[in-house]
Amino acid sequence: MFVPNLLIALREGLEASLVVGILVAYLVKCGRRDVLPKMWLGVAIAAAIPLLLGIVLTWGPKTLTFQAQEILGGSLSLVAVALTTGMIFWMSTHARSMKSHLESELDRSLRRRGSGWGIVLIAMLAVGREGVETALILWATVKSSIENSIWASTAGIVVGFAVAIALGVLIYRGALRLNLGRFFTWTGAFLVLVAAGITAYGIGDLQEASVLPGWGHLAWDYSALVGSATSPVYWLYTIGNAMFQVNAQPTVLQVIAWLLYAIPVGILFRNRTRPRRSSARSAGNGSAGRESEPRPAAVETAATPAPAVVA
């Protein structure tokens, strides 16, 4: 569980770091350093909400019956998939406008509320959305893995967030330039596969709770090929299960659910992120338009450099 949790935490943490960087840069640009403590208060509240959610999801259902636990687990897995899918497509289409949207919200808040307390709410909502999505998807990946190693999972989350914060600081200070468009494209593709596996797992939970039919009707059974814990195949299977919820004994409905999610979402994601061929020609040299990747929308400040956000 180390690698998948690291990648998920890295992606979501970097996105949150960029949001914080935009907020800080704009407040500095406007000469409103006095409201920075309120902004950090909103960020702190936003960070506490997913932590509390993770605690509730981990220890709260233990008092429920087995059927209730499976219903809750399956339902929340599908909710996590829906939120993650929405986040993936939102970033693919709105990343360029994220800077201008946040700045307009900040400007409106500063004008209407001289004390700047509205900044707390803006920071809390902007960062908290990422936190709740991250908490749900991380919880779902850990729950659906056959190897629920709490230490490996925790280490992956901590390292992922630590790297994300470090990258966010370096980008803000202008010491690092990343092709964020490519980063979010590759991690988005990874999350599509992760979400497809969680979809199948959530369906399995609901089948086991007798909410959906077909539990025990296997599409195939390759468990004999997995072998013992000393087999290389077993370790490959464990890695596949940890990252993409690969299942050696899926039900027919689980396979159908995986296909119904992975194929259309994968195609839509590919179409949204595929570089478009420019039809325009250069007036100076008459050269044909070339395939171009989205360009970063730089965040300009008067005294402080800020991150570039790339769709």
Q: Which 3-state string (H, E, C) describes the chain? A: CHHHHHHHHHHHHHHHHHHHHHHHHHHHHCCCHHHHHHHHHHHHHHHHHHHHHHHHHHHHHHHCCHHHHHHHHHHHHHHHHHHHHHHHHHHHHHHHHHHHHHHHHHHHHHHHCCCCCHHHHHHHHHHHHHHHHHHHHHHHHHHHCCCCCHHHHHHHHHHHHHHHHHHHHHHHCCCCCCCHHHHHHHHHHHHHHHHHHHHHHHHHHHHHCCCCCCCCCECCCCHHHHCCCCCHHHHHHHHHHHHHCCCCCCEHHHHHHHHHHHHHHHHHHHHHHCCEECCCCCCCCCCCCCEECCCCECCCCCCCCCCCECC
Q: For residue 309, list its beta bridge partners.
A: 297
**pLDDT above 70 as % of the chain:** 84
Tell me what the mean pLDDT of segment 19-29 comes to: 89
Name the token pair of 139: 């919880």
pLDDT at site 193:
93
Q: Which residues contact 274 (CB under 8 A, 6 or more apart)?
A: none
Q: Tell me the pLDDT band of 117, cut-offs 50, 70 and 90.
A: confident
For residues 309 and 233, which has the higher predicted lDDT (pLDDT)?
233
pLDDT at site 148:
54
Q: Tell me the pLDDT band of 125, cut-offs 50, 70 and 90.
A: confident
Residue type, 202: G
Phi, psi of 76, deg, nearest 5: -70, -30
Phi, psi of 30, deg, nearest 5: -80, -5
pLDDT tens across 261-303, in order?
Answer: 999 999 999 998 887 665 444 444 544 444 444 444 434 333 3
For residues 22 and 311, which has the higher predicted lDDT (pLDDT)?
22
pLDDT at site 43:
92
Tell me what the mean pLDDT of segment 209-219 comes to: 94
pLDDT tens across 33-76, in order?
Answer: 888 999 999 999 998 998 888 888 877 777 788 899 899 989 99
pLDDT at site 145:
64
pLDDT at site 286:
47
CA dist 295 and 93 (Å) reads 13
- Return left, alpha or beta for 168; rule: phi > 0 is left, psi -120 to 50 is alpha, else beta: alpha
Residue burial 2-23, b: 16+ Cβ < 10 Å; e: rest:
bebbbbbbbbbbbbbbbbbbbb
Tell me what the pLDDT averaged over the chain comes to.
Answer: 81
pLDDT at site 307:
46
**pLDDT above 90 as % of the chain:** 28
**Please, how many CA atoms are within 13 Å of residue 143, restricted to the half-sphere of its CB?**
28
Residue with tokens 């994601």: 269
How many C-beta atoms surround the C-beta of residue 274 within 10 A? 10
pLDDT at site 299:
40
Question: Would you give the distance in Å from CA 112 to the centre of its chain?
Answer: 33
Question: Would you give the distance in Å from CA 19 to the centre of its chain?
Answer: 14
Tell me what the mean pLDDT of segment 235-253 comes to: 87
CA dist 5 and 134 (Å) reads 10
Q: Which residues contact 144 (CB under 8 A, 6 or more apart)?
A: 77, 197, 198, 201, 245
Q: Which of 2-6, 185-189, 206-210, 245-249 has the highest mean pLDDT?
A: 206-210
Residue with tokens 């360029």: 96
